[in-house]
Amino acid sequence: MITNILFVDDDEDIISGYRRMLHSMRNQWGLYFASSGLEALEVLGNNPMDVIISDMRMPGMDGADLLAQVKKEFPQILRIVLSGHQDEMRAIRATGVAHQFNAKPTTTEIIKNTIERAFFLRNYVQNEKILKLITGIGELPGLPEIYIKVEEELRKDDVSLSQVARLISNDISITVKIMQIVNSSFFGLRMRITDLLQAVTFLGINTIKAVILHASLFSSKRFSAASRRYCEIIANHSMIVGNIAKSIAIQATPQQEVHEDAFMAGILHDIGKIILLSLPDYEEKVNSESNLKNLSMSSVEWDMYGFTHGEAGAYLIGIWGLPGPIVEATAFHHIPTKLEDNQFTPLTAVHVANGFVNTPIKNFDKIKNIRESGIVLDFSDYIDIFPSIDFNYLKITNSFSKFNDWLEIYFKFLKQIEDSNE
């Protein structure tokens, strides 16, 4: 699939440089160039475009005005800013007109990696249907400002966790969420943490970034009271899945990166449901059809829209440039075999964790009763008890042998919930 990209810069030398630099990509990308905002809009009006990469400082219509116009008229297009000025990039971030930001000067490799990350799902998903729907909804949400500020701090050579904590402290809801998590029973701390810096240090930066995204995206202030309640349910479910997925990953592999990706993927796996709430009567229609036909939400979404909330959510976080394993886990948490991978990945952890959380409590009581009777559960028994877990996928990834260990993780979680309710 050819990706059409429009480069906009008023400096002809830079445009010529792009032409030379990207010549090797001509078989993969449709390359378009414009030397002004007005010329760029003319190109967009006559050609279907996937990405626009614009300089900021241009006479007449500057980059901010151009991208604001693109955001309004062509909301499906990925908007990327190139700038050599940090203050300028901070200012444009505040307007929300760009999805991603890159510093000048740049290289072919940086541009290539940026676009490939943003369109990661095109290897697996026919995004045209998602794009069409997103166009009808309007704009995609951008990364929360506080997330961007934390990312900026982390890119510094002399990164300061104290400064990260100060940035977070400006947002009360995120601060509260972080303190709730660090003091939850998941971590089993002997002492209660009340200092934000201590919490940031203990949880680690990647967990903090995941919590920032979670708290920001699930706040859903633009929705009705009923939809906000729905968002709260999704948010609580997602945080539980994230924690269980991380625990599973810790048990399965010593790789810290996989642990962190599993956590972030777990708390973002249902973000597509928040995006689709912008559709008329999405929640009511999907839930009604699901109950009427006894089908999963994903099956109903596929029948109604041609894609699922997993793919819609993955499309969004792919545009944000989040790591591939997180995008994969979000896209395929219900259909993991679609990834065609035979290794344990964050997708494995999220699929199992989500399957546990979606399983009725009575099924876990059934497991306890069977165990107490001395009967050993086999493969077919688990298939009946956990209908939303793909055990053939667990065999493909050589993960089934660890399933009982993961089950104990979830039983421990259920016991914590039970104890806290007494």
The per-residue pLDDT for 356 is 94
CA atoms within 13 A on the CB side of 395: 7
Higher pLDDT, 407 or 112: 407
Q: At what angle do helices 324-331 and 346-358 cross, to 10 degrees?
A: 30
Higher pLDDT, 247 or 371: 247
Higher pLDDT, 222 or 317: 317
Q: Tokens standing for 24?
A: 């090797």
- Nearest partner of 70 among 84, 90, 85, 50, judged by Cα: 50
Domain assignment of residue 175, yes or no: no
Same domain, 274 and 402: yes
The per-residue pLDDT for 406 is 94
Q: Tokens standing for 404?
A: 């009982």
Write down which residue in 65, 92, 118 finishes a domain: 118
Same domain, 222 and 369: yes
Cβ atoms of 266 and 353 within 8 Å: the answer is yes
What does each C-alpha distance from 211 to 92, 113, 219, 231 come to in angstroms?
A: 24, 26, 12, 15
Beta bridge partners of 8: 34, 54
Residue 94: pLDDT band by 50, 70, 90 thresholds? very low
The per-residue pLDDT for 284 is 84
Same domain, 229 and 364: yes
Same domain, 222 and 100: no
Write down which residue in 101, 118, 135 finishes a domain: 118
Higher pLDDT, 114 or 7: 7
- Nearest partner of 305 among 138, 131, 121, judged by Cα: 131
Residue 1: pLDDT band by 50, 70, 90 thresholds? low
Which range in 114-123, 161-170, 203-212, 366-375 is most confidently predicted, on average pLDDT? 161-170
Instruction: State pLDDT tens for residues 245-301.
Output: 999 999 999 998 899 889 889 988 998 888 888 777 888 888 888 888 888 888 888
Domain assignment of residue 169, yes or no: no
Same domain, 368 and 237: yes
Q: Is the pLDDT of residue 179 over 50?
A: yes
The per-residue pLDDT for 152 is 78
Alpha helices by DSSP H, listed for 269-389, are 271-276, 282-293, 297-305, 309-319, 324-331, 346-358, 361-372, 379-385
Range of the domain at 73: 3-118
**pLDDT-above-70 percentage for the chain:** 85
d(CA 267, CA 242): 5
Q: Is the pLDDT of residue 184 over 70?
A: no
Domain assignment of residue 154, yes or no: no
CATH classification of the domain holding 59:
3.40.50.2300
**Mean pLDDT (whole number) for 391-406:** 91
The per-residue pLDDT for 44 is 94
Q: Is the peptide bond before 105 cis (omega within 30 degrees of 0)?
A: yes
Burial of 261 (0-12, 13-18, 19+ CB in 10 A): buried
Residue 367: pLDDT band by 50, 70, 90 thresholds? confident
Domain assignment of residue 359, yes or no: yes
At residue 335, φ and ψ (nearest 5 deg) are -130, 65
Q: Tokens standing for 50?
A: 């996937």
Same domain, 113 and 223: no
- Element (H or E) spanning 256, and its range? helix 256-268
3-state SS assignment for residue 199: helix
Write down which residue in 118, 146, 161 finishes a domain: 118
| End-to-end alpha carbon distance in the chain | 57
The per-residue pLDDT for 353 is 96
Instruction: State pLDDT tens for residues 295-347.
Output: 888 888 888 888 889 988 888 777 776 778 888 899 999 999 988 788 999 99
Same domain, 94 and 237: no
CATH classification of the domain holding 338:
1.10.3210
Number of domains in the chain: 2
Same domain, 112 and 243: no
d(CA 214, CA 238): 9
Residue 99: pLDDT band by 50, 70, 90 thresholds? confident
The per-residue pLDDT for 127 is 57
d(CA 2, CA 88): 32
Same domain, 235 and 371: yes
Domain assignment of residue 124, yes or no: no
b/e string for 103-122 if b means 16 or more Cβ within 10 A?
eeebeeeebeebbbbbbbbb
Domain assignment of residue 344, yes or no: yes
Domain assignment of residue 247, yes or no: yes
The pTM of this model reads: 0.71
Same domain, 109 and 227: no
What does each C-alpha distance from 127 to 34, 36, 131, 319, 331 come to in angstroms?
A: 26, 29, 6, 12, 12
Same domain, 106 and 231: no
Domain assignment of residue 190, yes or no: no
Same domain, 379 and 269: yes
Burial of 418 (0-12, 13-18, 19+ CB in 10 A): exposed
